[in-house]
Each structure stands twice: as structure tokens, then as C-alpha cells.
């Protein structure tokens, strides 16, 4: 360059060689300029969205393979250890964005090749999960039961003595049969538990798959947290979870909660100068920002921590804990009966009262052998242990697991994602639902329908009548004071608007008024931002226009809140007028009229300041720019859903931030307020907050709508209802709803508009934000409880009958009618197959026509005791007749008679499964065609029972039965149906049995 300058210096005489040099340099510089311009033009074309790029066979292009000028390990360490000096040495956040092939405004390219390259270099935003429990672990756990281990030991002894006494050809049957029966029970139970674990893990994965808002190729889009890559620009707002480690790029008033990482609950300020570091897993509690992702997956502290955590899916729910106590109590009774049976059989054996098939005493002192005595004792002990195995209702916890897993799967299809199992059970007991308005009772499809400037209503398309200065201020108040965005690929394309429904509606309306977002951003600088606050119910932005020293403070929010801070208003011609008392009343009336039409009222106001160094937003003596009314229609099914809640005995209360008039209009439209509801109250949150504790508890049941409520008011409402004994469900979508969601018995967050903080605090996520889905969840909650009661009734009937029959037979005859293998088969029918059949019934209409189940209401109701008693007495009577008189009545041998006892007992359980389907209704077959699983299990049970009797004689110790004998067994078992019908005609008291017994003691 110096050499060229020497020749081209002004004033120097140009010789011929010099001329040639000059021409050469001119050509060189011209070529260089042309190349530079060509590159710029080409770059502009490539960035333009008006072209069409065809990717043949998915081939990656060179432009999609970025080059990174930074070390991944160094980059992740800077953020992990928050090394500000190292960040400066790397050139700061802006320089890092360039090194990561990322544009601060347009983001990364986002093509397939680009994403693949970033994942290859920096890794994916996932972490290796601990290896889940395998199937054989569940088999081992099932076989690890204490009493099953005793039976296995007995089977080993029985096998040894059987082979020794009868030889290996015939002596292995008894021991091997017990082994096979135990293994069958364990495997069937393990298959069920293994499948439920897989299902729970899948649902847990759904919970962790949250979405983040990023910008790629200039376009904002939602992507899964697992698809975030290093270099992504992520948009953060209140309630979001930071999806990866990163650096603060741009934003205002950003505060994060790092308690999940550090345990400190105080919010941490994040800014560009002092603390630009953002850690994966923390929650945004205030402000908004854009962050540059610098590390993902295992390169983050969150990833390292989560990879070491094992998700436990077997945490017992309250209902399971109650059933465990019941199981323990029944088990103690079973052990007592087994000990008595063992003692009686031992006494009868050693006294010679027990006889063999030929009528000779089994214990003969003259011919006794040690092997024979040990074998007999082991057989008696084995029978006693089998009684314990059958008596202990181990299927109860399994039934809860099955019904919860089935319900969760079905609820997922019904747009409800269960995060905590206990919520399924509790939802059936809910007596009060505190619900949001926007998006839950309404469609959350906002649209501006009314616009007032001063005293004039501006019709749609009437922007020409408004002064240009007013439009400029409106454009600034909407386009700059927003968390939404507008993306327009080109001048002829429709704009893509992102943000909350309110923001989208306002931005769409402003675009109709001629707002140019790009021009607006170029012409103004944002000095300071105050994010929307649920207490103040407004947001503000301080703007400085280019070329002007003055600053403008723009405010928007709840109309009455903004109006209270206005001292002036502007007319359509641009004239500013003072707002006197009469004009204020007029604006109040306009707001009330819009609210009475179910419109959400939002006001815009501003204040100009000539001072140059203003850095704080002023919210006093504002000038009212205009009022807008947004319409959000009620959901079509909201009214019927609220009526369903009323029929089910669950009150619905609407808690909203809107003013009283809007809230009242929506509540009336949805059916929360009715003409016949004379006691229903509509109050403001401040009024409720200022009540005394006694007054609050007195009024809380009467309140139907609470308007202008703060998060504290919502929490106070939940606490008051719980103090009154209500079981409370709460819906919420914002970060400020988290305390109420946690305090409620069941927290229901919104899947579409809900923040990650709200979802994390909830028990169930309503995926479609629809109140009708809340009612569906309640229906499933009641179904869970009812299904458990059905199975409990069925199993207790079998337990009582088996215990009484074995005890009476042992005492009276010295023998138990059912062998170990037969009892284990009955146990399999009860525990696993019965649970599958009865615990998977779907909700019925009558479930929502009963009052909710109380917190302390006994699991076994009086109706269930009535049904259990009738069926158990019938089975005991029939089988004892078989035991003591069956041979003479039917003229059958002892082996056939014992087979008929076993067959009848099993068939009684099959018929009683139908009775258990309906606890109160006489028609037990109603809706049975819709439960294909139930019918399939009944069919499988019958087929296996036929095989046990007819084919597996040696295994089950049975004899083949003829058609007549099968008919007798089935006919006797079928009598349980008319007995159930007759018994259900008997009225029973609603007072729990325990209370009746306590009352008897008093008298």
C-alpha cells in the first residue's frame, strides 16, 4: 500500500512507467471493489427470504457447516465458575456470539447441518439417565417376599422327601408343582409391575420435555429443551426455566431464582456488566432477556446433577399407605388363623385323628419313621403358610398401581399430564375448585374490538381520523412496551406474531393502525423497562427518540389502574386536555360499559420529559392516550363443565385479575353466577384481604368471584377454604400462582400458557388449558377411588371365605380342602388378574352425581360390608356343605369331591367379579361391553381353570369332571348373581361401622 501511495501521491509527475503502475493499481482496486459489492449483494440475496432454496436429497451445504473459534471446555468453565475476567479476555458476549457463528439478532442458521455440527462439537442438551430396573429385578423382588421364601423352602423339602419316598419318577410332582405355582405368581406380578414402571417413566419423560423460545434464521420458534444447541439465542420471560448454561445478551430487570442449584431463595440480578451468567435449571422470577447458549447437557452443572438422580416411580401414595395398613391388619388375622390351623392339624396328626385315602391313621406309632413324620410336618406347615399367602391381600397395592397407571394413560389422551400420583386420588375428593378466567374458562383468543381516544370511539379502519402524533405514541406504547415480537419474512408476507394472547392481540391491532416494527426500533432507543407486575398490573418502558433529547415514559395495563395515575387526556385531534372530576367519571363509565360486555379493558398512557439524563420511569400525572377493549370468548364447554361440578358437589370459584364488572359478566356467561344463586358474592381481592380471620372464614363459602386479586389473595383464599375443611383444587398459569398451586390439595397448571415455575409447582398439567379437562381429571380421580373399592370388596370376600373354610375344615376334619397349589392359583386370580379386571374400569356418569369422598371416609363403606358379608357367607356355606356332605350328595369320590370344591370356589370368584363391578347398582352388566380387558381376563381365567382341572391333574392335584359336575359347579357359583341383586335391595346406614361400634359401647 505504501509503495502504491508513493506513485499515486498528488503533485508527483507521472511518467510512462508511472502511468502503467497507476492503471494497474486502479484495475486492482476496481476489481476488489466489484468483488466486495458482489459479496454484499450475494449476502443480501442469501439472507432474503424471498428466494427458494432446494435441498436435493437432504445434502448439507457449506454454509450450514459453521466454524467455531472457541474451545468448548473453556467456554463451559467460564459460565460454570462465573469467571468475569475470563469472559472479558474472550472478547465479551458479543464477540463470543460471533465466534459461535451466531448473529445477535437473527440467531444461528438452524439448518440440519448446522445443528448436527454444533451437537458434534459441543454435545446435545441431554444427559445419560441411570439404567432403569430390569424385568428380572422385579421377579427377584416378587420372590423376595418372606412367606413365599418359606413356601420355596417347604417346596425344596417336599421335593426331597417326595423323591426319597416315591422315587424320582413320581416323587417330584408335589414339590415341583409348588415351585411352578410360586414362579407363576411371581412372574405375572413382575410383568404387571414392569409394564407400569415403563409407563411411569414415559410419563415422567413427558414432564421433563419442556419447550423454549429461540430465534433461528431470523425467525422465533418454540423448540424442545433437548434440541437446544450451543449458539442458540433463547428468549427468557417471567416463569421460564433457563434451558442451558449461557450469557446475558440483552434484556431488562432480569432476576433469577437459583435455589434449585444453590439452595439460596433470594432472587439474583443478572445484567450485562456485573453478572451476565445464567445457569441451566434456574427460574426467571422477573424481567425478560435474551441469552446466548454457551454449554448444554453434561457440560452444565444441572446436567451433571440430573444424571446422578434416579427417578423413583414407586413412592407410595396416601391411598397406597392406607391400603398397606389394611393389608397389615388382615395379614395379622391370617397369621393367627394359620397358627391355629397348624396347631390343630399337628394335634390331630400326632393323636392319630388324621387318616389317609384308605382310612388308616397317617401317624402310627408302631410303623412311624423319621422321614414320614418330617414329611407330614412339612406338609402341614406348608398348608399353614399357604393360608397366610392367600390371606394377605398383596394385590391391593398392585391394584392401586394398576388403576393409577391406567388412569394416567387415559388422562394423557384426555389432555391431562399427571406429575404426582397422589393427585389422581385426591382429585376425586375435591370439594372446591378455584379457577383462573383467561384461557381456562375462556378461549384465550384475544382480539381488540373497541378503541377509545378521549371521548370518541374510533371505529375499525378509522385510523385516518386520529392525529399522527397520537398514532406515533400508540405505536411506541404497543411495539416497544411488549414481550411479544413481530416477524415479517418480506414486505408481501403476513406477519408472524409471537407472545401472550394479549400481546399478540395488541400487536395485531397496532399493525392495522400502520405500525412498522423495524422502523420503530430504528427510530427509538429503549432506556429502561419495567416488566409487567401482578401487583401493579401494568408495565412501562422509557423511550428516547433519535434526534431528540426528550424521553417518553409509556405505560400500559389495567384501565382503572392507569386511569388513576392520569391527570390529562388527549383528543383525536392531538390536543391535550386536563382531566377533571367529570371527565374522570366519564372514563370510568366507558371502562365499566366495556367490562359489562365481557371485555378486558387496557389503557395506554405516556409522559414526556425534556430532561436528557432521565433513567427512571415516572408514573405520576400521566396523559391518557386511549382505551382498548379485548374480547376473549368463553369456551363452548365451560358452562356444562361448571354445571357438572355443581352436580358432583364441587363448588367453582373464579379468581381473576380483571375488574369486577368484567369478572361478573364472564362468571354469569359461564354459569358460575346464576340467577338462583342468591348467596353468591363478587368481591375484590383487597376487600377479602382486609377481612378479619373470622369474617374471612364466614364469607369464604359464599364467594363466587374474586376480581382484581393478587397472588397473595389467591393463596389466602386456598388457606381459608382448607381451614373450613374443604379439599381444594387450584388452576394457575403464572409464576405468581406458584404459592397457591403448592398450597392447594391439587395444583393444576396450564400446559399452553403456563410458565415452567407454575408447572413445577403443580400436580397435574392441563395440556389444553381447558376447564372441561379439569372436570375430566375429577371424574378420573373418583374412578380411581371407586375401582380400588371394587377390588377391595372382591378380595376381602375371597380372603374371608378362604380363611373360614380352611379353619373350620381343619378343626372339624383335620384336613384343608384346598391344596397349596390350588390356594396359590386362587391367590393369582385375586391379586393380579382380579386387579387387572376391576382396577381398569373407566369413569361412568353416576360418578359425577355423588358428593365428593371425604378425607377421612373409611375405605370399606357400609355398602361394601353388606356385599362382602352376603357373598362370603354364601361361599362358606356352599363349600362347607361340599366338604362334609359332598360325597354323599353327589355320589362322588373324595378326589372328585375335592376337585368340585376347588372348581366351585374359583367359579364363585369369577361370578363375583361381575358383582364387584357395581357396588350399589343392581345391573352389574351395565357398560360391560366397553371394558374389553375385563371380558378378556374373565375368558382367560375360565380357560386356565379348565386346563387346571382337565389337563394339569398332577400339577393341581385334581380329577377330571364330567359335564354334569361342571354344570353343578357353575350353577352353584351363578347363584351369587341373584344373591347380589337381592342384597342390594337392603338399605344400609351411611354412618361408618367404626362410629356405630363406638356408639354401641356408649350404650
Grid coordinates standing for 160? Answer: 426331597
Residue of 264, 263, 257 whose CA lies nearest to 238: 257
Give the residue among 437, 502, 424, 422 at the shortest CA–CA distance from 714. Answer: 437
C-beta atoms surrounding 694 within 10 Å: 8
Q: Measured between alpha carbons, how far is 622 from 569 in angstroms, rounded to an integer?
A: 8
The number of CA neighbours under 13 Å toward the Cβ of 254 is 30
| DSSP string over 424-445 | HHHHTT--EEEE-STTTTB---
Rounded to 5 degrees, what are φ and ψ at 750? Answer: -95, 130
CA 225, 317, 777 angle in degrees (round to 5)?
A: 65
* CB distance 235 to 215 below 8 Å: yes
Nearest CA among 331, 138, 145 for reference residue 795:
331
Q: Parallel, antiparallel, or unpaired: how do β-strands 524-533 and 703-707 relate?
A: unpaired
Q: Are 529 and 252 in contact (CB under 8 A)?
A: yes
Active site residues: 436
As a whole number of Å, the end-to-end CA separation of the chain is: 116
Name the residue with cell 363448588. 651
The residue among 305, 330, 302, 313 whose CA lies nearest residue 225 is 302
CA distances from 928 to 70, 479, 862, 924, 975 (A): 66, 59, 25, 8, 20
701 Cβ contact list (under 8 Å, min separation 6): 651, 724
Grid coordinates of 612: 436528557
Instruction: Tell which phi-psi region holds residue 107, choosing left (phi > 0), alpha (psi between -120 and 50) or beta.
Output: left
Contacts of 167 (CB under 8 A, 6+ apart): none
Q: CB–CB of 902/822 below 8 Å?
A: yes
Nearest to 181 by CA among 332, 337, 382, 401: 382
What span, in angstroms and rounded, lies between the C-alpha atoms of 82 and 247? 10
Is 971 exposed, middle or buried, given 0-12, 13-18 or 19+ CB atoms closer than 10 A? exposed
Alpha carbon distance 114, 94 (integer Å): 20
- Cell numbers for 143: 420372590
Kind and range of the H or E run holding 470: helix 468-479
Q: What angle do CA 199, 203, 207 make, to 5 degrees?
A: 165
729 pairs with which residues across the strands?
433, 746
217: closest CA among 399, 606, 31, 489?
489
Cα→Cα distances 87→69, 250, 305, Å: 14, 16, 24
Task: Look at residues 165, 727, 215 and name the one whose alpha carbon lies nearest to residue 432.
Answer: 727
Determine the longest span between alpha carbons in the chain, in angstroms: 146
Amino acid at each position: 500500500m505504501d509503495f502504491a501511495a508513493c506513485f499515486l501521491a498528488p503533485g508527483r509527475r507521472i511518467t510512462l512507467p508511472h502511468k502503467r503502475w497507476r492503471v494497474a493499481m486502479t484495475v486492482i482496486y476496481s476489481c476488489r471493489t466489484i468483488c466486495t459489492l458482489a459479496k454484499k449483494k450475494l449476502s443480501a440475496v442469501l439472507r432474503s427470504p424471498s428466494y427458494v432454496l432446494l435441498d436435493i436429497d437432504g445434502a448439507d451445504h457449506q454454509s450450514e457447516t459453521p466454524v467455531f473459534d472457541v474451545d468448548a471446555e473453556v467456554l463451559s468453565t467460564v459460565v460454570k465458575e462465573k469467571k468475569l475476567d475470563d469472559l472479558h479476555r474472550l472478547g465479551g458476549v458479543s464477540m463470543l456470539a460471533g465466534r459461535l457463528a451466531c448473529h445477535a439478532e437473527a440467531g444461528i442458521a438452524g439448518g440440519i447441518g448446522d445443528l448436527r455440527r454444533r451437537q458434534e462439537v459441543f454435545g446435545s442438551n441431554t444427559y445419560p439417565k441411570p439404567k432403569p430396573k430390569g424385568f428380572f429385578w422385579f421377579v427377584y423382588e416378587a420372590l423376595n417376599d418372606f412367606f413365599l421364601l418359606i413356601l420355596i423352602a417347604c417346596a425344596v423339602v417336599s421335593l426331597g422327601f417326595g423323591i426319597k419316598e416315591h422315587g424320582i419318577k413320581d416323587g417330584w410332582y408335589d414339590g415341583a408343582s409348588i415351585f411352578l405355582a410360586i414362579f407363576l405368581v411371581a412372574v405375572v406380578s413382575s410383568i404387571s409391575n414392569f409394564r407400569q414402571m415403563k409407563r411411569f417413566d414415559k410419563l415422567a419423560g413427558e414432564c421433563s420435555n419442556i419447550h423454549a423460545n429461540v430465534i433461528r434464521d431470523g425467525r422465533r420458534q418454540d423448540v424442545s429443551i433437548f434440541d437446544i444447541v450451543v449458539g442458540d439465542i433463547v428468549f427468557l420471560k417471567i416463569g421460564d426455566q433457563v434451558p442451558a448454561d449461557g450469557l446475558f445478551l440483552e434484556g431488562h430487570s432480569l432476576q433469577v431464582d437459583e435455589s434449585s442449584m444453590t439452595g439460596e431463595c433470594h432472587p439474583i440480578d443478572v445484567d450485562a456488566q456485573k453478572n451476565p451468567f445464567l445457569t441451566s435449571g434456574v427460574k426467571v422470577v422477573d424481567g425478560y432477556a435474551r441469552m446466548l447458549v454457551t454449554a448444554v447437557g453434561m457440560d452444565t452443572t444441572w446436567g451433571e446433577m440430573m444424571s446422578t438422580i434416579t427417578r423413583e416411580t414407586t413412592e407410595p401414595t396416601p391411598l397406597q399407605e392406607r391400603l398397606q395398613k389394611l393389608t397389615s391388619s388382615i395379614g395379622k388375622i391370617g397369621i393367627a388363623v394359620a397358627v391355629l390351623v397348624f396347631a390343630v392339624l399337628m394335634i390331630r396328626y400326632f393323636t392319630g385323628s388324621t387318616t389317609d385315602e384308605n382310612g388308616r391313621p397317617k401317624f402310627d406309632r408302631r410303623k412311624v419313621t423319621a422321614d414320614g413324620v418330617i414329611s407330614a410336618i412339612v406338609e402341614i406347615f406348608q398348608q399353614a403358610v399357604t393360608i397366610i399367602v392367600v390371606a394377605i391381600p398383596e394385590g391391593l397395592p398392585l391394584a392401586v398401581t394398576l388403576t393409577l397407571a391406567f388412569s394416567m394413560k387415559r388422562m394423557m389422551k384426555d389432555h391431562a399430564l399427571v406429575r404426582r400420583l397422589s393427585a389422581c386420588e385426591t382429585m376425586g375428593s375435591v370439594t372446591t375448585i378455584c379457577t383462573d378466567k383467561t384461557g381456562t374458562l375462556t378461549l384465550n383468543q384475544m382480539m381488540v374490538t373497541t378503541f377509545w381516544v378521549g371521548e370518541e370511539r374510533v371505529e375499525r379502519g378509522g385510523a385516518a381520523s386520529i392525529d399522527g402524533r397520537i398514532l406515533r405514541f400508540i405505536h411506541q406504547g404497543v411495539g416497544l412496551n411488549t414481550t411479544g415480537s413481530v416477524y415479517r419474512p418480506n414486505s408481501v408476507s403476513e406477519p408472524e406474531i409471537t407472545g401472550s394472547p394479549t400481546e399478540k392481540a395488541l400487536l395485531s391491532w397496532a399493525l392495522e393502525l400502520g405500525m412498522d416494527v423495524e422502523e420503530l426500533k430504528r427510530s427509538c432507543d429503549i432506556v429502561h423497562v419495567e416488566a409487567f407486575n401482578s401487583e401493579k398490573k401494568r408495565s412501562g418502558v422509557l423511550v428516547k427518540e433519535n434526534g431528540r433529547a426528550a424521553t417518553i415514559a409509556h405505560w400500559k395495563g389495567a384501565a382503572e389502574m392507569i386511569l388513576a395515575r392520569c391527570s390529562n387526556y388527549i383528543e383525536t385531534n392531538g390536543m391535550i386536555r386536563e382531566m377533571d372530576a367529570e371527565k374522570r367519571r366519564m372514563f370510568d363509565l366507558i371502562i365499566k360499559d366495556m367490562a359489562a360486555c365481557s371485555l378486558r379493558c387496557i389503557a395506554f398512557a405516556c409522559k414526556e420529559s425534556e430532561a436528557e439524563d432521565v433513567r427512571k420511569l415516572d408514573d405520576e400525572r400521566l396523559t391518557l392516550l386511549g382505551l382498548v377493549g379485548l374480547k376473549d370468548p368463553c369456551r363452548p364447554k365451560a358452562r356444562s363443565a361448571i354445571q357438572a361440578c355443581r352436580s358432583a358437589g364441587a363448588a367453582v370459584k373464579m379468581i381473576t385479575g380483571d375488574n369486577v364488572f368484567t369478572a361478573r359478566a364472564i362468571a354469569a356467561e359461564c354459569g358460575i353466577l346464576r340467577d338462583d344463586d342468591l348467596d353468591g358474592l363478587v368481591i375484590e381481592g383487597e376487600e377479602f384481604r382486609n377481612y378479619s380471620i373470622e369474617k374471612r372464614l364466614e364469607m369464604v363459602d359464599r364467594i363466587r368471584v374474586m376480581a382484581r386479586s393478587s397472588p397473595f389473595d389467591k393463596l389466602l383464599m386456598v388457606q381459608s377454604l382448607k381451614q373450613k375443611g374443604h379439599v381444594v383444587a387450584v388452576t394457575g398459569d403464572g409464576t405468581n400462582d406458584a404459592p397457591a398451586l403448592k398450597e392447594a390439595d391439587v395444583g393444576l397448571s396450564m400446559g399452553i400458557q403456563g410458565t415452567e415455575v407454575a408447572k413445577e409447582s403443580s400436580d397435574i398439567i392441563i395440556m389444553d388449558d381447558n376447564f372441561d379437562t379439569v372436570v375430566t381429571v375429577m371424574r378420573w380421580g373418583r374412578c380411581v377411588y371407586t375401582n380400588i373399592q371394587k377390588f377391595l370388596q372382591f378380595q376381602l370376600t375371597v380372603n374371608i371365605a378362604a380363611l373360614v373354610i380352611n379353619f373350620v375344615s381343619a378343626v372339624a376334619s383335620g384336613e384343608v380342602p384346598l391344596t397349596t397349589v390350588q390356594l396359590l392359583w386362587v391367590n393369582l386370580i385375586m391379586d393380579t388378574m382380579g386387579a387387572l379386571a376391576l382396577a381398569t374400569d373407566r369413569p361412568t356418569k353416576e360418578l359425577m352425581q355423588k358428593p365428593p369422598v371425604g378425607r377421612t371416609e373409611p375405605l370399606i363403606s357400609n355398602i361394601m360390608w353388606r356385599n362382602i358379608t352376603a357373598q362370603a357367607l354364601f361361599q362358606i356355606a356352599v363349600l362347607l356343605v361340599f366338604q362334609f356332605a359332598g360325597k354323599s350328595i353327589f355320589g362322588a369320590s373324595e378326589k372328585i369331591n375335592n376337585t368340585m370344591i376347588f372348581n366351585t370356589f374359583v367359579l364363585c370368584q369369577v361370578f363375583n367379579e361381575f358383582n364387584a363391578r357395581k357396588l350399589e347398582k343392581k345391573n352389574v352388566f351395565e357398560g360391560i361391553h366397553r371394558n374389553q380387558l375385563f371380558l378378556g381376563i374373565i375368558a382367560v381365567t375360565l380357560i386356565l381353570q379348565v386346563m387346571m382341572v382337565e389337563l394339569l391333574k398332577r400339577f393341581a392335584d385334581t380329577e377330571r369332571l364330567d359335564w354334569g359336575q361342571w354344570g353343578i359347579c357353575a350353577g352353584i357359583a351363578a347363584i351369587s348373581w341373584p344373591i347380589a341383586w337381592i342384597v342390594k335391595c337392603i338399605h344400609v346406614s351411611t354412618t361408618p361401622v367404626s362410629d356405630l361400634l363406638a356408639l354401641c359401647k356408649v350404650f
